Amino acid sequence: MLPDKAIVTIDGPSGAGKSTISRGLAARLGYTYLDTGAMYRAVGLSLERQGVALDRDEETLARRLAAVELRLAPNEGADVQVFLNGEDVSTAIRTPEMGMVASRVSAHPLVRRTLTELQRRLGAPGRIVAEGRDMGTVVFPGAEFKFYLDAAAEVRARRRCEQLRAQGQPVAYEEILAQIVKRDRDDSARALAPLKPAADAVIIDSSGLDIAGVIGAMMENIARQREGKT
Ligand code: DC
C-alpha cells in the first residue's frame, strides 16, 4: 500500500521516455500525472505569441505571466491536453521548436518561480506522478519516491524521431539529435533548478529497456521501499 498522499517524481533529459512512463506509472498507481514540461512549453508559446522578449523588465514579464491561464486535462493513453486561456494548444506545444523555446524560457527566474508555485499547488493533495527536470530536487524535495530516467542521447533521438513521425511530423534524425544534445547541455548548465538527479533518486537507464520494463522496475522499487519502511 502507498501512503495516501504520496508524490512520485520522475526527472530526466528530453526523450528519455518520461511522459509515456509517467503516464503509465500514474495509471498503475491510480495517481494523477503532472506534465510540467507541457507547462513550460505553453508559457513559452504564450510569451512568443504575445511578442514578449525574456529580457523585458520584470514588471512587464510578471504582468504577461499573470495573464497566462493554464489548464491541464488528463487524456486517456495519450499526452495531457493543455489549454492556454481556454484554447487547446496540445498539438501546437509538442513540436521540437517549442521544446527549444520552453528550454529557453525555463531558465528565467520569474517563469520558474511562477510555475514552481503552480506545480506545488497542483501537487499539494498528493497522489501524483510529477514529471520534469527539477521535480525531485526543487519542486517536491520531500517526495516519497524519486526516479531519474536516463538513456543514451542517440537512443533518445531515435525514439523522439519515431514519436514525432508517428504524429505526422517529418523530422531528420541528425537535427533531433543536435537539439537533444543542446537541450541537455542548456537544461543541465543553467543556474536555476538545473537538470540533475536528486541525491536520493533512483537512477534508471532505459537504453536497453522497453516501457513496460521501466514501469515494472519502478513499481518494484516502490514496493521494496515501502517494505523497508514498514
Ligand atoms: O519535458 P519537455 O521536453 O516537455 O520540457 C520542455 C523544456 O521545459 C525542457 O527542455 C526544460 C523545461 N523544463 C524545465 O525546465 N523544468 C521542468 N520541470 C520541465 C521542463
Q: Which residue's alpha carbon is nearest to atom 1 within ligand 1? A: 37
All three cell numbers of 45: 508559446
CA of 229 to the centre of ligand 1 (A): 32
Q: What is the 3-state secondary structure (H, E, C) of the chain?
A: CCCCCCEEEEECCCCCCHHHHHHHHHHHHCCEEEEHHHHHHHHHHHHHHHCCCCCCCHHHHHHHHHCCCEEEECCCCCCCEEEECCEECCCHHHCHHHHHHHHHHCCCHHHHHHHHHHHHHHHCCCCEEEEECCHHHHHCCCCCEEEEEECCHHHHHHHHHHHHHHCCCCCCHHHHHHHHHHHHHHHHHCCCCCCCCCCCCEEEECCCCCHHHHHHHHHHHHHHHHHHHC
CA of 102 to the centre of ligand 1 (A): 6
Atom of ligand 1 nearest to the CA of 15: 3
Gyration radius from the chain CA atoms: 17
Position 64 pLDDT exceeds 70: yes
pLDDT of residue 78: 81
CA of 228 to the centre of ligand 1 (A): 32
CA of 96 to the centre of ligand 1 (A): 12
Position 151 pLDDT exceeds 80: yes
Q: What is the rounded average pLDDT of the residues 3-24?
A: 91
Round to whole Å and give the CA distance between 197 and 35. 18
Q: Which residue's alpha carbon is nearest to atom 18 within ligand 1? A: 132
Which of 33, 40, 129 has most ligand 1 atoms within 8 Å of CB, for mutation?
40
- Residue 110 — very low, low, confident or very high, per pLDDT cuts 50/70/90? very high
Whole-number percent of the chain with pLDDT over 90: 78
pLDDT digits (tens, 9 = 90+) for 43-56: 999 999 988 887 77
Round to whole Å and give the CA distance between 119 and 42. 14
Position 58 pLDDT exceeds 90: no
- Which residues surround ligand 1 with Cβ inside 6 Å? 14, 36-37, 40-41, 99, 102-103, 106, 132-134, 183, 187
Q: Are strands 7-11 and 145-150 parallel, antiparallel or unpaired?
A: parallel
pLDDT digits (tens, 9 = 90+) for 122-139: 999 999 999 999 999 999
Q: Which residue's alpha carbon is nearest to atom 5 within ligand 1? A: 37
Q: What is the rounded average pLDDT of the residues 86-104?
A: 93
Q: What is the pTM of this model?
A: 0.93
Which of 18, 36, 134 has most ligand 1 atoms within 8 Å of CB, for mutation?
36
Atom of ligand 1 nearest to the CA of 135: 18
